[in-house]
Chain A
């Protein structure tokens, strides 16, 4: 009962707080602008200080109750609270001094007035920040870029999309900002403690907080998505949850409200994926092997063997670690393949088209572990035997064999390469039937064998 009454008084703080402001400003204005002050004017000024003190005392008292109800963080309130109290104290002292007819020197009087106004401004400013938000002072100035309020995800976190969790990184920060001040282990309003997932699921006096998989029956979701004038709408004061935050919450509960639910699950839901991309600046597209691979750039020493005219190469990424390399001469020799051994980790695309490549040559590519795209088309000396060397290329996704002499048996070898996604077999000795069988067996490999 008492707590509720104090809360009521607290809510009067914004009302009463403007009384001392008005009174003190008027008092100081009279002091400054009236010349030849006679006794009665002096008494009016003394009275002004008294009323400032008295109304300020009430405002500070109510403010203390308001600050205590848990809607605000201590760090937010601190300066406002103590500068407000200092203001009240100063008013009291000045009134007392004037009351006992202490003689003020002109300069002392001036600095008292100035200090009071400064204190008033500081207190008012920090009070304003609490009610109107951190940037209230400048946000509507023209030429100031408005910040879209995102959930603060650090740059580092945003780039590591795969290791983000919905609860920890997207839901909890919202709860912390909006709910946990009142619903924590020390102060569990309505018996609800939201600082831990388990206690939030358990809920409070009104029942379970979360029903897994049923957002519309979960009290947590219901309270934040009520119409804003609904008596049970949460949070009761301050800025409500945004549309995106509510949708994220709904999606999370809908998918089981697990602590370990990864953000990448959004890939299953285009609407959520779009929201994640727009609202949190996340890039949720599936990453290829290369995009997840961190590799050092080759040294100038390692690049030396490929500076000759027989190679054309360029880097594929700004980190300059992946190489796209093409052999340009009409006939390749073992020596040419030895030259590219020093950078075999870096070669990701390799083009050895139409250069009299044979099976033996292919054995030099056996440990090109980061090779994803290999073009060895139009090499009639390449046969089934060569495929065995390629079998160990565990990250090869694309292999071009058109115009080689591989035959049906090669498909057995190729079918075992797990990373393979695309296979070009036009103009080889592989029969149409064998290709059809292969396609049926490996639906995830796209086989292109002419039209």
Chain B
């Protein structure tokens, strides 16, 4: 390599004396730094191993779950109309939220200017279901039938008050973009269970409006890029640009990739950029996916009773129900992290109508997925999660009418439910106050939730790290405690 002289112009008038005077102290400090470094203090190898997760033996303990299906409900479903039954709000329908409950904390710009914060009890009927007696609204009749399989966390809370930072937070552990997504961390930590499919697959419900979903949510951040999520689309090309161009046979493509790999290996030997290896593995994965993806996307041999279980929508590719069915197929193929996104839960106004439509689209298929996994024995080692990025307010955004209201963003409490591997069945963890505004019992932060998820997969969330920009990062960064009450 040639040095460009222009880059060195500043050094032209640097005398030996300058050099010695200006660097002697610095060199001293450098050597002092190495003398008192914790690496030497703690005994080199152990300390380094603790920090370097590539040398850690994963999993850190015997896992309960081998894979995760995350049914992400983007836009934040209203916990008050689905799971978190608050008769007090109906009793006090239209009255102001008491000052003592509201507190001093921020509201979004969308409702902070309101003169009044009238409490809006849910228009939907709640009932207790199953032996566990879990409360569910009439919006989710199918899920209500399987509550004894579920573990509700009603005391989730997050930091962010708006969609983008909140989704980024729950997916990557940080409100700021740029960190790896949960699925990427798992791929990086645990590797693959099926060499023909990516470890991290993303399915987005087609044709939905609402808050945008974008690929950095399943991005690998600073992890090597083979750990990024791969979106499988509905329709002809599940993965874009996977098929060979017309006239190129599989044999030619294989030859081409082999030659390319040779060139890339030379390049890697020369400059040692790890992303070159990533590139090679991505090409190879794409080649294997040419046969494995069409196979897994093909639902033609599913019997009718399976379509009946998931609902009529499941025959229509790209719907939430069809994606749930696909998620099961991917789970059968041992894909490690299957992330579904369903948009459209952001009901600032006209909530009763909107949430009815949303529930209709997701309820049956979500319940069906859990049942289907169970009868196949997959629920033993698959963790299913259902939930959004934050909750919704107990007061109405905009005008409260007897039959119509809207709800604003509410990060202070929301509900998610989980089912499957290593999770207690038929229980509810945490509780909100009678107004459904603040958490009354066992708060669970996003980072606690993430730590628990990793724990179920056999990972100590404090030990899976990646060094980037001079420090070691984790999914939960410096936060997070495993929610032991969840563990079976």
Contact = CB atoms under 8 A, between A and B. Distances in A.
A322 B374 CA distance: 25
Given A402-B375, A426-B375, A426-B376, A326 B193 contact: yes
B244 interface: no
Interface string B43-71: 00000000000001111111100100000
B429 to A, nearest CB: 15
A328 B58 CA distance: 22
A422 B380 contact: yes
B194 interface: yes
Summarize B's interface: helix, strand, loop or mixed: loop
B63 A316 contact: yes
B375 A450 contact: yes
Nearest to B59: A316
A49 B32 CA distance: 51
A424 B376 contact: yes
B116 to A, nearest CB: 45
A318 B60 contact: yes
A250 interface: no
Contacts of A317: 59, 61-62
A242 interface: no
A377 B376 contact: yes
B287 to A, nearest CB: 14
A449 interface: yes
A320 interface: yes
Contacts of A451: 309, 371, 374-375
Interface in B45-100: 56-63, 66
B458 interface: yes
A214 interface: no
Contacts of B375: 402, 424, 426, 448-451
B177 interface: no
Nearest to A377: B377
Contacts of A309: 195
A218 interface: no
A426 B371 CA distance: 12
B389 interface: no
B191 interface: yes
A398 B380 contact: yes
Given A312-B195, A316-B63, A448 B377 contact: yes
A398 to B, nearest CB: 6
A312 B194 contact: yes
Contacts of A290: 62
Contacts of B408: none
B346 interface: no
A314 B334 CA distance: 13
Max chain A Cβ within 10 angstroms of own Cβ: one of B57, B195, B375:
B375
Max chain A Cβ within 10 angstroms of own Cβ: one of B192, B334, B371:
B334
Contacts of B194: 312, 328
A291 B377 contact: no
A400 B57 CA distance: 29
A342 B264 CA distance: 38
Nearest to B194: A312
A315 B376 contact: no
Interface in A416-451: 422, 424, 426, 448-451
Max chain B Cβ within 10 angstroms of own Cβ: one of A319, A449, A451:
A451
Given A312-B194, A314-B191, A402 B376 contact: yes
Interface in A236-257: none
A339 interface: no
Contacts of B374: 448, 451
Interface string A199-219: 000000000000000000000
Contacts of B191: 314
A375 interface: yes
A400 B377 contact: yes
Contact of A316 (B62, B192, B195, B380): B62
B282 to A, nearest CB: 19
Contacts of B376: 377, 400, 402, 424, 426
Contacts of B62: 288, 290-291, 316-317, 322
Nearest to A318: B57
A309 B194 CA distance: 10
Contacts of A426: 375-376
A316 B61 CA distance: 7
Nearest to B368: A451
A400 B191 CA distance: 25
B438 to A, nearest CB: 25
Contacts of B58: 318
Contacts of B334: 312, 326
Contacts of B190: 314
A415 B158 CA distance: 48
Given A315-B57, A316-B59, A320-B57, A424 B377 contact: yes
Interface in A31-60: none
B377 A402 contact: yes
A275 to B, nearest CB: 15
8 contacts: A288-B62, A316-B59, A316-B63, A318-B57, A320-B57, A353-B332, A377-B377, A402-B377
9 smallest CB-CB distances across A and B, nearest first, come from A318-B57, A400-B377, A424-B377, A426-B375, A450-B375, A316-B62, A451-B371, A317-B62, A290-B62
Given A316-B63, A400-B377, A402-B376, 17 more contacts: A288-B62, A312-B194, A312-B195, A312-B334, A315-B59, A317-B61, A318-B58, A318-B59, A318-B61, A326-B193, A326-B334, A353-B332, A373-B380, A426-B375, A426-B376, A448-B377, A450-B375
Interface of A: 288, 290-291, 309, 312, 314-320, 322, 324, 326, 328, 353, 373, 375, 377, 398, 400, 402, 422, 424, 426, 448-451
